[in-house]
Chains A and B, each alone.
Chain A
Amino acid sequence: AQSVTQLGSHVSVSEGALVLLRCNYSSSVPPYLFWYVQYPNQGLQLLLKYTSAATLVKGINGFEAEFKKSETSFHLTKPSAHMSDAAEYFCAVMRYNTDKLIFGTGTRLQVFP
Chain B
Amino acid sequence: DAGVIQSPRHEVTEMGQEVTLRCKPISGHNSLFWYRQTMMRGLELLIYFNNNVPIDDSGMPEDRFSAKMPNASFSTLKIQPSEPRDSAVYFCASSLTQGVGYEQYFGPGTRLTVT
Q: Residue B106 at the A interface, CB < 8 A?
A: yes
Answer yes or no: A43 CB below 8 A from chain B CBs.
yes
Residue B109 CB within 8 A of the other chain = yes
- Asked if B25 is at the interface of the complex by the 8 Å CB criterion, the answer is no
Interface pair A99/B42, CB less than 8 Å apart: no
- Given A90-B43, A103-B42, A98 contacting B56 (CB threshold 8 A): yes
B65-105 CB mask vs A (1 if < 8 Å, else 0) is 00000000000000000000000000101010100111111
How many positions in chain B have a CB within 8 Å of any CB in the partner chain? 24
How many chain-A residues does the 8 Å CB contact rule pick out? 23
B95 nearest in chain A by CB position: A99
A23 to chain B, nearest CB (A): 14
Please state if A100 and B56 are interface contacts (CB–CB under 8 Å).
yes
* Count, A-B residue pairs, CB within 8 A: 55
The distance in angstroms between the C-alpha atoms of A104 and B91, with both chains bound, is 16
Bound: A44/B94 CA distance, A: 12
Known: A32-B101, A100-B48, A103-B42. A42 touches B108 (CB 8 A): yes
Within residues 20 to 45 of chain A, which ones have a CB less than 8 A from any CB in chain B?
A: 32, 34, 36, 41-45
Residues of A contacting B108 with CB < 8 Å? 41-43
Nearest CB in chain B to that of A104: its residue: B42
Q: Are B109 and A43 in contact (CB under 8 A)?
A: yes
Given the known interface contacts A43-B4, A43-B91, the answer about A99 and B107 at a Cβ–Cβ threshold of 8 Å is no
- Residues 87-113 of A, flagged 1 when their CB comes within 8 A of B and 0 if not, give 000100010001111011110000000
Measuring CB to CB, which residues of chain B are less than 8 angstroms from any residue of chain A? Answer: 4, 31, 33, 42-43, 45, 48, 50, 55-56, 91, 93, 95, 97, 100-109
